[in-house]
Amino acid sequence: MTDRSAADLVERAAGGDRGAIARLLSVVERGGDGARAALAALGSTPPYAHVVGITGAPGAGKSTLTGALVGALRSSGTRVAVIAVDPTSPVSGGAVLGDRIRMQVHEGDPGVYVRSMASRGAAGGLARSTPQAVRVLERAGFDPVLVETVGVGQSEIAVSAAADTTVVVVNPGWGDGVQAAKAGLLEVADVFVVNKADRPGADEAVRELESVVGQPALGDAAPGSWRPRVLTTVATEGRGVDGLVAALRAHREHLEATGQAVKRRERRIRGEVRGMVLEALAARADAVCEGPGFDSVVSQVAAGSLDPYTAARGLLTPDR
């Protein structure tokens, strides 16, 4: 793609052309020279959208909740985009189609854009090009942009670094405070949603989470700091979703009022540039860990004549 055609594509996407948006998303997802041209054309100028990360364990009902959230946001006239990050199947190499959101969204509504992305083994379960996809959707006038990721542990950290507001979805009976801490959830959540709250144990889950978020060590102790909200929803019936919309707005206002919005945006950019550095280096690792040279080194390690540390150093040395 030439720089001129990239600029043209960005202009059309900014005008709401869905074909152009789709093409631009594919270009940034694919990476390489096309992505370079597209990113140069996109720049990183405002408007910035409110980026909301939605995460939690598989089966927690994130997709249903995201679909219900899109409906609630649409009823107030907001244009909403969703990036649904699918973990990649290790054998087939393709994304598992877990996208249940689109099914819930009114077909042909120009105010909604849903995109699936494969995480392709990127650290943290977030697709490497997610920040660039957010840029495209921001530029196309969608605000908020919801980013749904499956997973526990590293995923939450990755999504929270890429988002302004992080929503962690759990279920009744999901686990006690130790489990939440173990999964790395407590320190990244701005909003906790206990979904499937019509099931037994919802009150207990809320109580446990409230007691944990109340601990000062887990929040910013400064005055005007944000204490994570704990909400309940029954996403399948749309119950509690308006409360979630209100919490997201409240957190956004909090970020703007305290000046943290700018800081989080900068954090997003730091993460984005770092992600691109890692991607470039991972490509180098891929190149080094294949072919006869790699096979020979593996055989030597298997035979006990070479240790893995020296093996890795040797693989990286030639073209250093």
103 lies in the binding site for a copy of itself (CB under 8 A): no
Contact 269, 276 (CB under 8 A): no
Distance CA(132)–CA(83), nearest Å, equals 11
Could you tell me the smallest distance in angstroms from the CB atom of residue 98 to a copy of itself? 4
Q: Show the site string, 276-315: x = touches a copy of itself by CB under 8 A, - = not.
A: xxxxxxx-xx--xx----x--xx--xxxx--xxxxxxx-x
Tokens at 108, concatenated: 């042909």
| Inter-axis angle of helices 18-30 and 3-14, nearest 10 | 130
Residue from 1, 10, 13, 57 binding a copy of itself (CB under 8 A):
57
| Residue among 69 and 205 whose Cβ is closer to a copy of itself | 205
Residue from 54, 150, 212, 247 binding a copy of itself (CB under 8 A):
150
| Residue among 91 and 222 whose Cβ is closer to a copy of itself | 91
228 lies in the binding site for a copy of itself (CB under 8 A): no
| Inter-axis angle of helices 18-30 and 130-139, nearest 10 | 160
Q: Which segments of 129-213 does DSSP mark as H helices, in order?
A: 130-139, 154-162, 177-182, 202-213
Q: What percent of the residues of the chain are helix, what percent strand, and what percent coil, each to the nearest 5?
A: 50, 15, 35
Could you tell me the smallest distance in angstroms from the CB atom of residue 216 to a copy of itself? 13
3-state secondary structure of 248: helix
159 lies in the binding site for a copy of itself (CB under 8 A): no
Name the residue type at position 54: I
| Residue among 19 and 32 whose Cβ is closer to a copy of itself | 32
96 lies in the binding site for a copy of itself (CB under 8 A): yes
182 lies in the binding site for a copy of itself (CB under 8 A): yes
Site for a copy of itself in 65-84 (CB under 8 A): none
Applying CB under 8 A, the span of 39-47, 72-80, 108-116, 202-210 interacting with a copy of itself comes to 39-47
206 lies in the binding site for a copy of itself (CB under 8 A): no
123 lies in the binding site for a copy of itself (CB under 8 A): yes
Q: Which segments of the chain does DSSP mark as H helices, in order?
A: 3-14, 18-30, 32-42, 62-74, 101-104, 130-139, 154-162, 177-182, 202-213, 241-258, 260-288, 291-302, 308-316
